[in-house]
Amino acid sequence: MSDEAAMGLSEKAEPPVKQPAEAKRAPALESPAMRIAREFCEDRLAVLGLVLFLAIAAIAILAPWITPQNPYDLAQLDIMDGGLPPGSESFATGGTYWLGTDEQGRDMLSAIAYGLRISLLVATVSLAFAIAIGVAAGTTAAYLGGKVDTLIMRVVDLQLSFPSILIALILLALFGRGIDKVIIALIIVQWAYYARTVRSSAIVETRKDYIDAARCLALSHRRIMFRHLLPNCVPPLIVVGTVQIAQAIALEATLSFLGVGVPITEPSLGLLIANGYDYLLSGRYWVSIFPGIALVATIIAINLVGDRLRDVLNPRLQT
Amino acid sequence: MIVYLVRRLGQSLVAIAAMAVLVFVGVYAIGNPVDILINPESTQAQIAATMQRLGLDRPLWEQFGIFVWNALHGDLGISFVYGRPAMQIILERLPATMELALVALVLSVSIGIPLGVLAGLKPNSIGGRSIMAGSILGFSLPNFWQGMLLILIFAVLLGWLPAGGRGETVEVLGIRVSFLTLDGLKHLILPAMNLALFKMSLVIRLARANTREVCLQDYVKYARAKGLSSRRIVLVHILKNILIPVVTIIGLELGSMVAFAIVTETVFAWPGMGKLLIDSINLLDRPVIVAYLMLTVLIIVTINLVVDVIYSLLDPRVRLSEVDA
Amino acid sequence: MNVRPALLIASLVAATSLTPAMAADLSIGLKSEPTSMDPQFHNLATNAQVLENIFEGLTKQDAVQRLQPGLASKWEASDDTTWRFTLRDGVKFQNGSPLTARDVIYTLCRVPLVQNSPSPFTIYTGAISDVTAEGDDVVVVKTASANPLLPTDMASLPIVSADALGAEKTVTYKPDGKCKGMGDVPQSPAFNSPDIAVGTGPYKLDSFVRGSKLVLTKFDGYWGEAPAWDTVTMRPISSAGPRVAALLSGDVDMIESPPIQDIPRIEGAGFKIIDALSNRIIYLHLYQQDEKAPSITGTNGKNPLLDKRVREAISLSINRKAIVDRIMGGYAKAAGELLPPPMFGTNGREPDGYDPEKAKQLLAEAGYPDGFGITLGTPNDRYINDEKVAQAIAQMLTRIGIKTKVDAVTASQFFSRRNKLEFPIYLAGWGASTGEMSSPLKSLVATYDKETGMGPTNAGRYSNPAMDKILTEAMSTIDDTKREDLLKKAEQMVLDDYGIIPLHYEQTVWAMKKGLSYEPRVDQYTIAAEVKPASE
């Protein structure tokens, strides 16, 4: 429900009224992409968010090459280096642990980079699949209408009326831990948002004359769907997608925190935080606080970008 | 309207049934509760006897058949762990969760609306901008991490508030509540804040958006032109107009509060249903898990239904048959 | 607790006017709460440690698990299968009725009649063929075969009141729940009422609000030393952090199992830490049933764990001292046996030293110079820092070439999967509830056999027929000296064979206010009645 409402902001909450002023200012010759880019850059906070996100993504992608340690390779860990505060030197290798180590001797800096990798991987892969399924279901419903539409939308409604955390928690409790299982659970809880978004934009389109024209020309269903309907659904999808990817990262972290997420030997940020939770009272703050900061920074960056994108891509302005 | 209600109820029943099957089969597949519940000194024969006593030795379909038969008669089974009816165990925990959710709801509305209206009236002021920035932070901080920070700051570093548990309770009409004692209140503040923060950000954004919309409406412009005090405009015109959408959304959010309480209850050791669910999953107490889900689904479905109906009564433009579009 | 302001003030006034001294109250933060107030419902430490305040057995175990007189002042074996228990004089139940042989017979009779028990107490009564009374204060228990541990078992079987539970005047024992004169046997939920939950112990049940608190009050008619507290409140605080915070903020006076990493902080805040070695051994078990070991790679389908040299290499590769120091914060002791010496049946064997070079050499001799891949199963919420210990072991095994993955799951899944033999190597723990060696030997390493009930927790399926024979003999030997010798011999055989690999004994920790004292228990129980005001 909360995800829905958070996303619902994009549709219900923001008044379209204030936007035309900005839209009108755009020079006539500007391409839509350029207009979006320009308007996006008008908000410095959003640009900051984008830069931050790109930096985080770069760290996540490059983790194996830029971190001092592979925290998943047990042979590289040394228990004798466990629990060192930030800035300590390693007994084993002589290197420095800038953000300290956890009780296994895992370098927190490396662990955070790898944790980001897992968190972003889970979020993006589930995003991709959820969008694919959602788009397929949404366009089918909008285009075919009738019974098919009713059926698909009933399922969507039903699913959206349950809190995603509850569904994901139950699924994972049943599946067991594992990155693949977390991804599956996230796809299951997310696809319905996209299906609904795509359907509502597509319905607007199907009522337009050019679709009728295309139908009259006896173009194939597939062609009409992919060439004509879909492109018009992209802006709202981007908006929903940015909100959802932040939600997915937070949800994965929460699930891992509750102990049903990723396995302990390949910790995501959420699991690192959960792991460090045991040490919070004892003063070993770094085991939990640093991964937490990384997680929050990631989510904030995405939300800042998403917030701005919602303004510049406001679906109502595109129709 | 009646047709709508019937259809809606029918859908909900399908959802509940699907959930029951999934969970029943799923929990069966995870493992055998006797493995963890029985005293490890027991011999194989004693383990087998215990499984037989709990009905766990029967084939899955038979167990499921018995469950469905009993469920249709209003009996959701006996908890494996506690030996008492599962529903009774959950209902014991329900007040704690509902109290937490309601207090959180009140907090998020009573703090969120004024802030949101403020931000909506002065969108470009420093105040308005920082409120919005704060709301982004509010729903970017994952629930559990935010709870940990609250504990770290208010319980550990400052020592002002207890870190967990429910504290002293008072019985009111047979229900135990903690907001009427000082000790209970102290225990309630942190978890309620934790649960409220996300929704508060949501309310801020909703209230801001609606305020801005209302401000542009003719009657507000007219009121301004008439020289009404801005205080009166805010209180009478704006607030009245944004309350309906905000309250509607928040009503719907109560269900998700109950679900998100799982996280808050785990972090703060709050003895509610969410904590019970996690404990029951860990102990494979199938009757309790199934009963929890059915109850939660029922709560959510009921809330949604009530909100829909009220909404349609308040706003005649909405016709229920079209709500799902 | 219900607080009615007027009543509260009235009672406060009364209290101050009559007894100027402060009321002596104790509150304890526990990890988990009992699942029922019925002492015969769930055979589980969590329940026993709370219910022992209310109910008592014929015998009891002291802090180091030596058997002491409880409600029976003495007992003896009149022959191999007959035990005579003489009941203590002057013992009264909390409802005023005196303890007689009828209560004991009723208690033993009720065990199989408790419905829905997830862990029945029948493991203590299954072998009892007859129970008779000789007068009011002698109970004669007959067993089907010789059972030297019967008096020990009786310590885990709390005596309930036949009167309170509505028994008839005479109760006659028949095995398998066919006793006569039982009346209408109340089931577990009824025990939430203080009228049903009636024992002979130092404290009475006052109220139990699930998930919130359990309150006990002093029983003035207790036969033993007068209870130290007027009321005892037990609060379940399952998360470690909040439990510590509750102690630090004064919400509770004492907590069990503070996380090891928080101990310096607790001590720094002026609290007292008490710790003691427990009877719980943390061990590794290895799949030794056949060649078809699950989740082992790089061995061409062979099971390397069948080779004693490989098992020894695994033991030698583990740096137990590092685990104790780094992961357990010093609150554990490296183990060389299945029970910490000098408990009954131990040999005093030293823990294996850390020798990775020799371990590699042994692996090479066994034909695995490049090691192999394996999965180590472990629960992640059952033993102190369990999954962290498993990760450290995986590190150490990987160092000698055994590339180890850790499969950490929640206890319920772990036990189910372990019992299905899904792990080639797993970490688990064993606390000997009898406090002697036959308990770990019989459950963990005796050959798995459904018929005889041996080796139920032997999920590595280690089998050593010679050891089985000695163990079986020990288990029916009534003479203590002879029995201990046999147990020592049996244990030595298993350890020499590296059939199971001991890691460490858990150390149990309690934290409390300065003004309290507690004699730490090997069985890890937190028994409120044994918490005393400190003498200074």
* Identity of the amino acid at C290: D
**Helices and strands: H and E segment counts in chain C:** 15, 20
Rounded to the nearest angstrom, the minimum Cα separation between B112 and chain C is 29
Contact predicate A80/C327, CB 8 Å = no
Interface mutation target, options C119, C124, C156, C213, chain B, most CBs of B under 10 Å: C119
ω before C39 within 30° of 0 (cis)?
no
For residue C242, the one-letter residue type is P
- The amino acid at C70: G
Q: What is the mean pLDDT of chain B?
A: 80
DSSP string, B302-318: HHHHHHHHHHHHH-TT-
Q: What angle do CA A199, A204, A209 make, to 5 degrees?
A: 130
- DSSP secondary structure code for residue A145 in this structure: -
Asked if A12 has any chain B CB less than 8 Å from its own CB, the reply is yes
Q: Which residue has the higher pLDDT, A187 or B319?
A: A187
Chains in contact with A via at least 3 Cβ–Cβ pairs below 8 Å:
B, C
Q: How far is CA B29 from CA A221, C412, C413, in A?
A: 43, 12, 10
Q: Tell me which chain C residues have a C-beta less than 8 angstroms from the C-beta of A277.
A: 241
Q: Give the sign of the dihedral formed by CA A48, CA A49, CA A54, CA A60.
A: positive
Look at residue C251 in the predicted model and tell me its pLDDT. 82
Contacts of residue A82 in chain C, CB cutoff 8 Å? 326-327
Confidence band, pLDDT 50/70/90 cuts, at residue A1: very low
**pLDDT, tens only, C437-492:** 999 999 999 999 988 889 999 999 999 999 999 999 999 998 999 999 999 999 99
For residues A254, A259, A262, A264, the Cα torsion angle rounded to the nearest 10 degrees is 130
**Cis peptide bond N-terminal to C227, omega within 30:** no
Report the gap between the CA of A88 and the closest CA in chain B (Å).
Answer: 24
* Interface check A18 vs B, CB under 8 A: yes
Res. A2: pLDDT tops 80: no
- Would the CB atoms of A74 and C259 count as touching at under 8 Å? no
Cα–Cα distance for residue pair A242/A7, rounded to 1 Å: 9
Q: Residue B144 — very low, low, confident or very high, per pLDDT cuts 50/70/90?
A: confident
B322 has a pLDDT exceeding 80: no
Whether the Cβ atoms of residue B147 and residue B263 lie closer than 8 Å to each other: yes
Smallest CA-to-CA distance from A119 within A59, A73, A70 is with A59
pLDDT (0 to 100) of residue B125: 82
Q: What tokens does B70 get?
A: 């009993």
**C443, C464 Cβ separation under 8 angstroms:** no
Residue A7 exposure: Cα atoms within 13 Å on the Cβ side: 23
Class of the CATH domain delimited by B86-324: mainly alpha
- pLDDT tens per residue, range C163-222: 999 999 999 999 888 999 999 999 998 998 999 999 999 999 999 988 888 999 999 999
Buried b / exposed e over C477-516, threshold 16 CB at 10 Å, is bbeeeebbebbbbbbebbbebbbbbbbbbbbbbbbbbeeb
Poorest-pLDDT segment among B140-144, B317-321, C44-48, C60-64? B317-321
How confident is the model at residue C361, as a pLDDT? 95
Mean of pLDDT values over B240-261: 76
Whole-number Å distance between alpha carbons of C148 and C145: 10
* Amino acid of residue C487: L
Residue C339 CA from chain centroid, whole number: 13
Contact assessment for residue B300 and residue B292, using Cβ atoms and an 8 Å cutoff? no
By C-alpha distance, which of B178, B38, B155 is closest to B102?
B178
B259: nearest CA partner in chain A: A166
CB atoms within 10 A of CB C397: 24
Phi and psi, residue C239, nearest 5°:
-75, 135
CB A143 within 8 A of CB A208: no
Residue of higher predicted confidence among C377 and A163? C377
With CB atoms and an 8 Å threshold, state whether C261 touches A176. no
pLDDT of residue A9: 39
Q: Which CATH number fits domain C25-31+202-277+508-533: 3.40.50.720, 3.30.930.10, 3.40.190.10, 2.60.40.10?
A: 3.40.190.10
Distance CA(A197)–CA(A130), nearest Å, equals 12
Least Cα separation, residue A252 to chain C (angstroms): 17
Cα A186 to Cα C483: distance, rounded to the nearest angstrom = 59
Q: CA C452 to CA C476: how far, in whole Å?
A: 13
What is the pairing mode between strands C254-256 and C272-286? unpaired
CB B254 within 8 A of CB B303: yes
Residues contacting residue B82 through CB under 8 Å, at least 6 positions apart: B89, B285, B288, C35, C36
Instruction: Establish whether domains C25-31+202-277+508-533 and C45-192 are of one fold.
Output: no
Which of the pair, A276 or C457, is modelled with greater confidence? C457
User: What is the rounded average pLDDT for all residues in chain A?
Assistant: 78
| Shortest Cα–Cα distance, C17 to chain B (Å) | 26
Q: Which residue has the higher pLDDT, C198 or A93?
A: C198
Q: Which two tokens stand for residue A122?
A: 């889970």
Mean pLDDT lowest for which of A199-208, B45-54, C175-184, C487-496?
Answer: A199-208
pLDDT at A18: 42
CA distance B296 to B94: 10
Distance from C246 to chain A by nearest Cα, in Å? 12
Q: Using CB atoms, which residue from C261, C392, C404 is nearest to A278? A: C261
Contacts of B11 in chain A (CB under 8 A): 154, 157-158
Polymer length of chain B: 325
Residue with tokens 């709202």: A236
pLDDT digits (tens, 9 = 90+) for B145-169: 888 888 888 887 787 888 777 777 7
Q: From residue C190, how far is each of A22, B257, C41 by CA, in Å?
A: 72, 34, 11
* Among B34, B43, B273, the residue to mutate for chain C (most C Cβ within 10 A): B43
Instruction: Tell me which residues of chain A, numbers 46 to 75, contact chain B at a CB-CB cutoff of 8 Å.
Output: none
Beta strands C531-533 and A96-97: pairing type?
unpaired
Q: Is C242 on the interface with A (CB under 8 A)?
A: no
Listed in sequence order, the residues at least 6 apart from C341 whose beta carbon sits closer than 8 Å to its beta carbon are: C347, C348, C349
> Has residue A214 got a pLDDT over 80?
no
**Lowest-confidence range among A37-51, A100-114, B258-272, C19-33?**
C19-33
Roughly how many angstroms between the first and final C-alpha of chain C, as a whole number?
32
- B44 — contact with chain C (CB < 8 Å)? yes
Q: Which residues contact B262 (CB under 8 A, 6 or more apart)?
A: A165, A166, A169, A258, B274, B275, B277, B278
Cα torsion A27, A32, A33, A35 to 10°: value is 30
pLDDT band at A17 (very low <50, low <70, confident <90, very high): very low
What one-letter code names the amino acid at B162? P
C116 and chain B: CB distance < 8 Å anywhere? yes
Q: Provide the token pair at C220.
A: 């003035």
Query: Which two tokens mark B254?
Result: 């109560």
Find the angle CA(C58)-CA(C134)-CA(C96) to the nearest 5 degrees.
55
Distances (CA, A) of A193 to A162, A237, A244: 12, 9, 9
* Pairwise CB contact (< 8 Å): B31 & C430: no
- Assess contact for B38 and C118: CB atoms under 8 A: yes
Q: How confident is the model at residue B127 (pLDDT cuts 50, 70, 90)?
A: confident
Q: Which residues of chain C have pLDDT under 50?
A: 1-21
How far apart CA A202 and CA A233 sit, in angstroms, is 6
Q: Which residue has the tokens 């009422």?
A: C193
- Closest-CA residue in chain A for B202? A6
Q: In what order do the strands lie in the sheet with C128-134?
A: C72-79, C82-87, C138-143, C128-134
**DSSP per-residue letters across C70-97:** SSEEEEEEEETTEEEEEEPTT-B-TTSP
CA-nearest of C261, C251, C225, C238 to C513 is C251
Q: How does DSSP assign B82-96, residue by residue?
A: TSSBHHHHHHHHHHH
Segment (H or E) for A89: strand A88-89
> Whose CA is closest to A123, among A295, A251, A236?
A251
Average pLDDT over every residue of A218-242: 76
Asked if A255 contacts A118 with a C-beta cutoff of 8 angstroms, the reply is no
Q: Which residues 291-320 of B are in CB contact (within 8 Å) with C? A: none
- More confidently predicted of B11 and C351: C351
User: Does residue A88 have a pLDDT over 90?
Assistant: no
* CATH 3.40.50.720 is the classification of domain C45-192: no
∠ Cα A282 A283 A287 (to 5°):
100
Q: Where are the domains of chain C?
A: 25-31+202-277+508-533, 45-192
Mean pLDDT across the stretch B23-50? Answer: 83
